[in-house]
Amino acid sequence: MARFYVGNDHAGLGLKAAVVQHLVAAQHEVIDLGTNTSASCDYPEFAKQVASRVAAGDGLGILLCGTGQGMAMSANRVPGVRAAVCADTFSARATREHNDANVLCMGERVVGAGLALAIVDAFASAQFEGGRHARRVALFDPPR
């Protein structure tokens, strides 16, 4: 079982409820970093909160907004975070296996709850394959 940091804006609130319930039922640890109201809010604030916790290295992240796109763009500004927008299970599995993705982003206006939960399962159960993929992931960041 894994630890998941979950964040969302107002447009991802409904999907967040379904995702959290699903993760808890599967015995995962869930840390819900909000928002927990339907009031309009700014998604980068929640993306950064989740991303900073994931970058600390003790869990995966899930970010939900209208499209998933703004969440991914924001989260990927945090060093060590590899956030991927997924709207299908193949990509969710492959981005863990090949890209070592550590944050899953989805859009409530894009995927229905049934598909979203299948995407969560694909992401949660996949493992990074390392090897040649590790070499490529290491090339994401410039040498220091």
98 annotated active-site:
yes
Please identify, using beta-carbon distances, which residue of 38 and 125 lies nearer to ligand RB5.
Answer: 38
Question: Which class for 50: exposed (0-12), middle (13-18), buried (19 or more C-beta within 10 A)?
Answer: buried
- 3-62 residues in contact with ligand RB5 (CB under 6 A) are 9, 11, 43
Q: Does 111 contact ligand RB5 by CB under 6 A?
A: no
Please identify, using beta-carbon distances, which residue of 4 and 43 lies nearer to ligand RB5.
Answer: 43
Q: Out of 22, 65, 86, 105, which one is annotated catalytic?
A: 65
Catalytic residues: 65, 98
